[in-house]
Amino acid sequence: MFVRSSVPEGKGVSSSAAVEVASMRALAVLANVPFDGDEGGAELAALCQLCENAVAGAPCGVMDQMTASLGRESRLLALLCSNNAVLGHVRMPRGCRLWGIDSGVRHSNDGESDYGRVRCAAFMFREHLRRTWPEKKIAHLAASPDPRWLEVMLLNGALPRRLSGENFLAMYPEGHGDDVTSIDPRVTYDVATCGSHPVMEHKRVTLIRDWLEEVADDEAVSELVMTQVGDYMYQSHESYGACGLGSDATDALVRLCRERGRDRGVFGAKITGGGKGGVACVLTADTDDAASAVAEVCEEYGGKPAVFVGSSPGAVA
């Protein structure tokens, strides 16, 4: 098989998912196996995720593969990762623009990476919630109780902030319910921070979708909407960093973007992908001044970072 890709490796822009989906799609066509529509695209993405988990040993979720399979040009894919459900395609309103700035720091999502540790801690937190409050029937952290309830439980000590692998396995010998990460008895996991992140991130993403969908097809996006969405991006970046998945490089890019601010048309920025480097995503107004501000960020950051703009449809879109 000959594979050609314009997606750079190790930059946090889903290069592995792009290769997986393109290869799987080509083999499916050769074998006359149809993967059509949202259902077929989701099945193809799930198979690609299985390859990355089982063959490459990377404990990734399905988001990247779903986007490479079912993404649409100039739209955001609304995806519920817990069950691979496509909730829709959110149009990017007129008047705003997304950029990707490469930090130059290569990241890794293999089983020994910080990403694997954070994922493991999140599953440990979920399992503890399920066992402590079985009546709440928490299947996934995105379906957890109100985040305010979670915060109260942490503040009053009803939930642990840190748990050693040894203590967790003593309480729950059957494990944490994740097939692609393993609990190390020697490691102490920050279960509260890592487990709270997906709860709050689900809330933030839901609010971002709501704000964007409020903009009518024939309207330009307002400064209020971009400010709200941008604030959620900054919150997401800080939360990812608190989990231990940030990096000095992406922190610097986000700081430089924040310094330009709304007056220059720069509204938000955040780390992307598996963290620990990769690409920072930036939300700006679609203006010349905002484009100049992004160029200034790149110049001040140094090293002539690659900048990504635009989008394209997925393999099954």
Catalytic residue set: 64
Contact 70/314 with Cβ under 8 angstroms?
yes
274: left (phi over 0), alpha (psi -120 to 50) or beta: alpha
DSSP structure class, residue 174: T
Count of Cβ atoms closer than 10 Å to residue 56 Cβ? 14
Contacts of 316 (CB under 8 A, 6+ apart): 25, 35, 36, 37, 40, 41, 44, 69, 70
Q: How many residues does the chain have?
A: 317
**d(C-alpha 254, C-alpha 262), whole Å:** 14
Q: Token digits for 229?
A: 């969405």
**d(C-alpha 176, C-alpha 299), whole Å:** 45
User: Residue 13: helix, strand or coil by DSSP?
Assistant: coil
Contacts of 13 (CB under 8 A, 6+ apart): 7, 100, 272, 273, 278, 279, 308
The helix-helix angle for 15-30 and 37-51 (nearest 10°) equals 120
